Structures are given as C-alpha cells and as structure tokens.
Structure 1
C-alpha cells in the first residue's frame, strides 16, 4: 500500500505514531489511518503486535490492522504498521478532561462492558494483553471502545517446571499480585488491570499515591494490598471490583463471568448477540490514535535489573533452576526488580521524528 506520513500523534518505548493517508482511494482502506513506526533494530515487538492484531481482526473492540511495510526516511530504515485511527483519542484524555477528572458511572459501565467484550475475545484466542490501562484504550468518533497497543501481548503459556525467569511486562500501577511475586501473567492479570481502569474512571485519581516502584511492588505483591475502591461507586460497582481484586488468580472472575455481573449486564448497550456472532460480522470501525503518553513507569522487560539506554528497556537474565528457586521470599524476589537508576523516558537516540 502506498501512503503518505502526516502529523505526529505521539511516541513511546516501541516507536512513533503518525497520521497516514493512502495515496489512492479504496473501499477496503479508510481515508485516514495511524501508522506506528520504529527502527529495524527495535522492530520485534511491533512485528509481534501486527501478527496478533491480524489474528484478532474480527473483534469490534480491538483496533484493526491494514498492513505493514518498510520505508527509508532520512537515512533510517523503518518498519511500519498501518492501523485504524481512533479520532476520539485515549480514554485517559477523556477522564483527564472530564469534570473533577472522573466519569459518570453510566459511562463507566458502558466502557467497562465494551472492554470486557474485547478482553473476552483476546483471552478466547489464547492471548494476554499484558498492558491494559487508560492510555491503551482508545475511542472512535461515536465513543466506541478500541483496545490498542499490543506491543507487550503474548500467548498464554504454561510455565515450564524449573524455569523461573523474570520478565516483568506492563505498567506497575496496574500490576497484579501474581505478576509482582511469581511472574505469572495470564488472563486473570488483565482482569486485575481492568479493575484498576474502572476504579480510575470513577475515582479520578491514581490508585497508588506516593509510592515509588519498590514500595509499590511490595504493597501489591507482599502486603497483599488492593487499589482503593472509590467511595462514590455504587454497591454493584464495588462488588464488581471485589471480583476483579482477588489475590488468588484462580478465584478471580473471568471476562466471560464479569459480562454477566449486574454492574454491566443491565446496560442497554449496542449488541445482544453472542461473542462469536459479533466477531463474524464485517466491522468497519475506526481506529487507534495511540498517543503513547506515559504518566507512569512502563516496564517493557525486567528479568536482573539492568537498564540499557540504547534500547530504552530494562533487562533481566532468565534464571533456570531445578531446586530451591521458588522458595525465595517474595520480598527478596521483588528487591531484584528495583534499581536506583531511572530511565530517561523523554528521549532516545533510536527514535526518529518525521515531519
């Protein structure tokens, strides 16, 4: 596909996002898209994201992908993924610009139900998003939800016995207890993060105030603390969050179960057809704006802690063991994730601004 790069929308640890227009009209391609680009040396994550989006293409609550290509710009070879453009922006911006930085509960219920439909589809296909947060939830012009940024997403895999490598994915503010202590990141971790999103939409404030990274991981993983449930939330909403904030992931409600919860089940929302029926339809929805605006720390890789300014990531070596590793105290494991060196998120030599 031949296209023209337009205005820059944002950037992040995996690349930049610009508007894009196709050079020729087509019934299959919208007149305005978003293009996510990165240098070839950092393209693995973006290529993985493209493959996942191709597999999840039929779900209306997930952004669509229109293809990929390579370009040479200003002497740099870039890998590009063309996506839907969600002109409604990020849900984080909508919350920030709302009265008292919080949304009416009727809106929260509607967004929550749409998110559950998207997560149910993702989990049904054997994937975990790994970074559900307000910044990665986009809105189309009609207010429809689009789950975006699958750069950290992965297939659900059963952990091999004796392999206790640490690969911390996602944003600590939304991290589940099992991820913080045992490196378990399956569908229940996405549900915990969803609960955080709901609490933020209602409460209008950060869930873990005045907590550095070390203290935050200790509070979540060792002390078993829960994000604060907003006092202005209805009894149905509070019960919904109780089902999301269960320390034991095996007892945490699934997306499919939560779709039948009174908090969202009585919402008069768009469709009443089943998940399979919805995803068999031809949905020409809108797209991701993906403004990569990270107000909090996003960790892309944390298995020894050592920060690499060349790639903008944290790296930890995988640990293989046949005895004793799982008996390490959770507090000791968490100490290995902390470093006094903080990354400079605002700049990287690997990023390229295209005008």
Structure 2
C-alpha cells in the first residue's frame, strides 16, 4: 500500500483563508496533503479539516484556464455543485459519503469521505481471486449500498472493483456515483483526460444507448462478481475493447460464468445477467436470493481466513494486520509536520485504534 504521506513536507500547505464547502456551509480550515490517486477527470488529494481533524479525499476537476472554457462550463459547474449538495444528504455504511464542494480559481474540489483501506481491485491484485465465501460477503454489502442508492433515485452507473473500497472495519463502500455525468462533461470541456469506460461491466442497453435504469447496475454487479471470482473483467479474455463493445451490444448471450462457482452463485449470476433489463431483479429482490439465504454459515469474516491453509489469500485480505503500522506511521509524520505549526496535537488525524 502506498505511503500517502511520503512527500508530506513538500506537498502540504496551510490555507490561510477559510474555505466554504458551499453557500450554506460553515467555513472550515483545511490542509491539502499528498496526491493519493489519479482518475479519468483529474487528481485525488488528501485534505484534513483542521476544525474536526477529519481526513477527506478530494477529487479536483479542472475548470479550464481560458475565459471561453470557463463560460461554457459555468452551467455544468453549477449543476454539479447542486448535485453534490443533494448527495451530501445521503448516508449509508456501504457508500462513500459526499461532503460538498469548494470552488477555486482553476479547479472544483469535490469533498468525499476518506476510506481508510484499499480498493477491491487492489486487493484482487494481491490475492488473484477471492473465495466464494468472501465474494458472497462483499456482494451482499454492495447490494445493500445499491438498494439505498436506488431507493433515493440514483443509478450508480460504473460498478466495478476499482470503484469499490474495503475499509479497516471490514465494510464495503461504493464510490464514484451520482455526479459522474457532470464531471465527465466538465472534463471534456476543459480538455482534461476524457472518460474511457471499459465495456466489460457495461449493460448491453448502456452500450446501445437505448436508455437505461437501475437494472443496468444489476448487470454490472454480476460482471463484478465474475471479476472477483476470476481476477479478470468479464469478456476480457474473449474480446479486445472495440470488439467487446460490439459483441456485448449485439449478442444474446451473457458473459462466461466460471464453472467452479456453486449452483447458487451461478443461478444468482444468471438473474443479474438477463439480456432484457426488465427481467433483472432489483437489489432488494437479490438480497433475498438463495445465494445469501441458504448458507448463512458461509458469511465468514476476513479474520476467519486465518484458519485456511491458503496463507497468501489470508495475508492479502487481512487489512487490519496490514494497515495498522502503515497508518500509524502516517500519523507520526503528520505529528512531525503539524505540531511545530499549530502547537496543538488535538488537530491531528485520529489514530488507527480510534478508527477501528
């Protein structure tokens, strides 16, 4: 796991003027930390709210440097700010929270919950595949998050392991939902890197641009289950990207289902991967599926993998053991940097034990 504070002394800067999250928010003092990720539309930084010592992940979207670009993007910026304002009202254990926006001269900062953990994609890189019991545990939590989003009228639109996080408390969290469309438009207007969504998780109706609803997320969930089981995106071994787009949009078949999965898992996937969107069950329906209800004993915790002979899988999935020393080392670097500035150790991020 990357040490996100490796360049903390060079990259952290105290903001002398309090920032406002939005027009109705209370001004906050914050510090911008190191770069922690790069996405299709910009960069993601760590911030610390100096009022609450809360760590935030902040997605920075470029607004353009010339007047024409700024004027053209203004309407979409306002729409994005309003959409994020609406999303701040959402709160569920299985989604990444939105906290608001901060507009600067050349960037719009989207303030998000900082997940103390890793993406499922990163975990999958280490363990190669997940055992079915772990998949079941993760998919159930994903469905709980999806059920909440759908009940609030929100289509996720980009479900895949790279957009799913696992925190130090063992909780799965869905990220990158809601404001995706407006961010994509802004990125295109300001000549940022354009979105290049892979077709491997996309429902046929999305590829065909035939209009889609919540059921498109159910298809993507099925593809994500296949990704967890095989370590590879669905269709990726059969087709290159362009050929994949054509095939998924025109074929009457579903992605290949691994033959080593249980009959319950296979049946679950066949329901998710119905070609006809109206035939796919809802997230609420799937939570009652025999895949979950017939074998409650299979919901083993990550710690239970210690009893397994597969030590590699255990070490890759036991995040508490992996992250505690790394996280506490990061906090020590925060102390070394901030204490001489503020003289107030209460403004430091929480310790690992406080979080877990």
Summarize deviations over 1:65-92 as a string: whole Å, max 9, x none: 22321235xxxx2211221111211111
Summarize deviations over 1:17-73 as a string: whole Å, max 9, x none: 11111223x3xxx53221111122477485366245224x2211111122321235x
- Return structure 1 stretches of 4+ with deviation > 4 angstroms: none
Q: Secondary structure at the match of 2:146?
A: helix
- 2:84 aligns with 50
Matched, 1:144 2:167: no
Cα pair distance change 1:52/1:235, threshold 3 Å: farther
Q: Map 1:342-353; keep pairs closer than 5 Å.
A: none
Q: Within 1, Cα distance between the matches of 2:181 and 2:156?
A: 4
Q: Which of 27, 33, 37 does residue 60 from structure 2 map onto? A: 37
Matched, 1:78 2:78: no
Q: Within 2, Cα distance between the matches of 1:126 and 1:15?
A: 27
Cα pair distance change 1:93/1:133, threshold 3 Å: same
Q: Given that residues 36 and 81 in structure 1 are in contact (C-alpha distance below 8 angstroms), is that contact kept between their aligned partners in structure 2?
A: yes
Bigger proportion of residues as helix: 2
Structure 1: any 5+ residue segments left out of the alignment?
155-167, 271-355
Q: Which of 87, 93, 103 does residue 60 from structure 1 map onto? A: 93
Q: Secondary structure at the match of 1:221?
A: helix
Larger radius of gyration: 2
Q: Map 1:101-120; keep pairs closer than 5 Å.
A: 101-120=128-147
Q: TM-score, normalised by structure 2?
A: 0.64
Q: Which moved more, 1:136-145 or 1:243-252?
A: 136-145
Matched, 1:178 2:205: yes
Structure 2: any 5+ residue segments left out of the alignment?
1-27, 65-72, 183-194, 301-356
Cα pair distance change 1:61/1:49, threshold 3 Å: farther
Q: Given that residues 131 and 171 in structure 1 are in contact (C-alpha distance below 8 angstroms), is that contact kept between their aligned partners in structure 2?
A: no
Matched, 1:97 2:130: no
Matched, 1:238 2:261: no
Cα pair distance change 1:108/1:49, threshold 3 Å: farther
Cα pair distance change 1:256/1:178, threshold 3 Å: same
Q: Given that residues 91 and 138 in structure 1 are in contact (C-alpha distance below 8 angstroms), is that contact kept between their aligned partners in structure 2?
A: yes
Structure number with greater CO (CA < 8 Å, separation at least 6) is 1
Q: TM-score, normalised by structure 1?
A: 0.64
Q: Given that residues 42 and 60 in structure 2 are in contact (C-alpha distance below 8 angstroms), is that contact kept between their aligned partners in structure 1?
A: yes
- 2:239 aligns with 211
Q: Within 2, Cα distance between the matches of 1:68 and 1:46?
A: 9
Q: Secondary structure at the match of 2:117?
A: coil
Cα pair distance change 1:247/1:67, threshold 3 Å: same
Summarize deviations over 1:200-231 as a string: whole Å, max 9, x none: 10112231125233311221111223111112
Q: Map 1:1-355; keep pairs closer than 5 Å.
A: 1-24=28-51, 26=52, 31-41=54-64, 44=77, 47=81, 50-55=84-89, 57-72=90-105, 77-98=106-127, 101-150=128-177, 151-152=179-180, 170-208=197-235, 209-265=237-293, 266-267=295-296
RMSD: 2.4
Q: Given that residues 48 and 54 in structure 2 are in contact (C-alpha distance below 8 angstroms), is that contact kept between their aligned partners in structure 1?
A: yes
Q: Which moved more, 1:238-247 or 1:204-213?
A: 204-213
